[in-house]
Structure formats: structure tokens, C-alpha cells
């Protein structure tokens, strides 16, 4: 339920409504608007009709049901788009198009430092790199784990770029949070509810990837798991879904961008690397995604893709990434964003 407060309702009225919501066994979630406040009452769907009685309280204008199964992620609760600050001055969902770039996996000090400098020089604002890798085969490289996290931290120290890296296992949340600026949830973990709940309790932004067979509603329900635990800094990432097509690794669902913009206030990031699987297809998908209204991109870049430990074929060489960034600035300008 959403409790819409009257224009000018005071603090006492707001506090009273919040108390009553708690008494009914729901969690109040206040959204401060420019002209009025609204309070989401979040909790068990059964029995929510008791909340209707709040309409009689002073300062309350109306009590309306939230129709979507996801609440905090929905535009019914918050119309204004959310921006997420991931480091001082690095804001996703504002006027700047945020580009996160780096290798699929951290492989060595030399590799991550070289890549970090290259992507920074090209205009990227966040460094990506996997230290824990969710590989389809148990025989594939699984990542450098904590050693990789330390190398990412070193790259941040050298370049000033904040880092985004994946947490695969709930037991590693604290460890990854010690080093990362943004916690990435991979496509394969989009419905790992234990992991999502833990990420909802920490004070770090989360980049939540859509699964290869996840509907948009399921995707938003996963975001809701994080939001409902208290962490409001959630970014959604479309990274391609599985279709019958084999020419690309996955199929980039570009239409997910306008659909998500209609349904949620959360920022939207596009990953054209995992979506296409081929470096040659990445630039055009970046341009198309910006045109469709994404807030940022996450792109795999490797100084020597031919020897990459993972995802070499889809990784851009730094020179190609640099060229792409120059062209991307033009597309960004068309949609009123800077790069």
C-alpha cells in the first residue's frame, strides 16, 4: 500500500503514520517528494487491507494499493528516477553516461594496471574485473579470488577509478565488500535470494545482472529482495538473454531499456560484451543502448584478448575501446548526456 500524505503535512503526522504501519506489522518506507511525502507500507500481501484505515489519520490524503508485485522498485512508489553515487563524483543515473570497463577476469598485476590506465585514458569512469568467476565449466579458470581483489584495489589506488567486481557466494560478501566500490551479482545468481538478502543489508551499491532466462518482472522482483532489506543503491544490468539465435552469444534485449524505464526508477546499465560475445558487435550495441536510454555501459576490455583467461573473443582492445568512446560521446550528446 502507498500512503499519500497531504501537501504540507507535518513531521508529527508522518511519524504517526509510520508508527501505525509498524503496529500493523508492515515496514514503512518514506519517499520525500518535492511537494509531498509518500510512505510505502511493505510486507505481507495478505491482510494488507487493514492499512486502509490509515486514511482517517491527520495529514493522510489517500491510501492506494501498489498493483505491481515489486513495490520499492516500482514507479508506483517512486516516480523520480534514482541516481546512485558509487564514489565521490561518480553518479549513475544522472547527466553523465557512466562507462565501466576492464577485463572479464583479473589475471595479473601487469594486466589489470595496464588495462586500468588504458580505459581511464579513454574516458571510462569505473574499472571492472572479476576476481571470483562463475564459469560454466568447473575446469575453466575460476578467478584469482582475494589476490585479484587486492590487485583491483591497487589499480584503484593508481588510477582513482572505483571498482566493480562480482560476488558469487554469500559467504564472500564481506570479503568482496572490503575491496569493491560496487558489488556485481552475475546473471547466474540473479535468483540467489540468500545472496540478494545479504547484499540488501550492506552499505555498497549493487549491480544486479539479469539472468539469461529471467523475465523483466522476475528481474525486478530480484531487485526488490535487495531494496526490501534496506539497500536502496541498486542498478539493473541487461546482459543479453538466451534465444534460439546462435550468431550471438546471447540476444541483447534493447527493448528492456524502455520497458524498465516505464516500470522502475532504478538506473539501467547495458553489458554488450556478454550480450553479443563478439568484440566486433560491441560498439554498435553501445551506441544503440545509449540511444534507447540506458544510464551506463559495462564493457570488457583486455590489452591482449588473444591470451585472455576468459571472454577474450568479446573483449575490445584498448585502441578500439578508445575509438568507440569518442563516437559514444556523440551519441551521448544527442540524448542530452555527457561522457
Per CB under 6 A, residues contacting ligand PEP are 104, 130, 134, 186-188, 209, 239, 271, 274
Tell me whether strands 2-5 and 37-42 are parallel, antiparallel or unpaired.
antiparallel
- With cell 562507462, the residue in question is 99
- Which is nearer to ligand PEP, 37 or 315 (by Cβ)? 315
Largest CA distance in the chain: 68
Binding interface with Mn ion (CB under 5 A) = 104, 311
Shortest distance, position 278 Cβ to Mn ion, whole Å: 13
Question: What region, left, alpha or beta, does residue 261 occupy, with left being phi > 0 and alpha being psi -120 to 50 degrees?
Answer: alpha
168 binds, among Mn ion, ligand PEP, none (CB under 5 to 8 A by kind): none
Least separation in angstroms between residue 246's CB and Mn ion is 19
Q: Which residue is nearest to ligand PEP (CB)?
A: 186
For the bound state, the minimum distance from the C-beta of residue 13 to ligand PEP, rounded and expressed in Å, comes to: 45
The residue among 188 and 261 lying less far from Mn ion, judged by its C-beta, is 188
Minimum gap (Å) between residue 187 Cβ and ligand PEP: 4
- Choose among ligand PEP, Mn ion, none what residue 312 binds, the Cβ cut-off being 5 to 8 Å by kind: none
Min separation Cβ 179 and Mn ion, Å: 19
Sign (positive/negative) of CA torsion 314, 307, 103, 130?
Answer: positive
Give the residue from 228, 289, 226 showing the smallest Cα distance to 260. 289
Nearer to ligand PEP, 118 or 241 (CB): 241
CA–CA dist 295, 338 (Å, integer): 11
| Helix (H) or strand (E) run with residue 182 in it | strand 182-185
Amino acid at each position: 500500500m502507498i500512503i499519500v500524505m497531504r501537501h504540507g503535512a507535518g513531521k508529527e503526522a508522518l511519524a504517526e503514520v509510520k508508527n501505525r504501519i509498524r503496529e500493523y506489522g508492515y515496514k514503512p518506507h518514506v519517499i520525500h517528494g518535492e511537494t509531498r511525502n509518500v510512505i510505502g507500507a511493505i510486507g505481507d500481501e495478505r491482510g494488507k487491507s487493514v492499512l486502509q484505515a490509515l486514511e482517517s489519520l491527520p495529514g493522510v490524503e489517500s491510501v492506494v494499493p501498489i498493483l505491481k508485485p515489486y513495490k520499492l522498485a516500482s514507479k508506483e512508489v517512486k516516480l523520480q528516477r534514482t541516481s546512485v553515487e558509487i564514489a565521490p563524483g561518480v553518479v549513475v543515473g544522472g547527466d553523465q553516461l557512466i562507462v565501466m570497463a576492464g577485463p572479464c577476469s583479473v589475471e595479473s598485476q601487469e594486466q589489470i594496471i595496464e588495462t586500468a590506465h588504458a580505459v581511464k585514458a579513454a574516458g571510462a569512469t569505473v574499472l571492472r574485473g572479476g576476481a571470483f568467476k562463475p564459469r560454466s565449466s568447473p575446469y575453466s579458470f575460476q578467478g584469482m579470488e582475494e589476490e585479484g581483489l587486492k590487485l583491483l584495489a591497487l589499480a584503484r589506488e593508481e588510477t582513482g577509478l572505483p571498482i566493480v567486481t562480482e560476488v558469487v557466494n554469500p559467504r564472500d560478501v564481506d570479503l568482496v565488500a572490503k575491496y569493491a566500490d560496487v558489488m556485481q551479482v552475475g546473471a547466474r545468481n540473479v535468483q540467489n535470494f540468500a545472496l540478494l538478502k545479504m547484499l540488501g543489508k550492506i552499505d555498497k551499491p549493487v549491480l544486479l545482472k539479469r539472468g539469461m532466462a529471467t523475465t523483466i518482472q522476475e528481474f525486478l522482483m530480484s531487485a526488490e529482495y535487495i531494496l526490501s532489506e534496506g539497500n536502496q543503491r541498486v542498478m539493473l544490468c541487461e546482459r543479453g538473454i538466451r534465444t534460439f539465435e546462435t550468431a550471438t552469444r546471447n540476444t541483447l534485449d534493447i527493448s528492456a531499456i524502455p520497458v524498465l524505464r516505464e516500470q522502475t526508477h532504478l538506473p539501467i546499465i547495458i553489458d554488450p560484451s556478454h550480450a553479443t560475445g563478439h568484440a566486433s558487435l560491441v560498439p554498435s550495441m553501445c551506441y544503440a543502448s545509449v540511444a534507447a536510454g540506458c544510464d551506463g555501459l559495462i564493457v570488457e576490455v583486455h590489452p591482449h584478448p588473444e591470451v585472455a583467461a576468459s571472454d577474450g573473443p568479446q573483449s575490445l582492445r584498448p585502441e578500439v575501446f578508445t575509438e568507440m568512446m569518442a563516437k559514444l560521446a556523440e551519441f551521448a550528446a544527442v540524448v542530452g548526456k555527457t561522457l
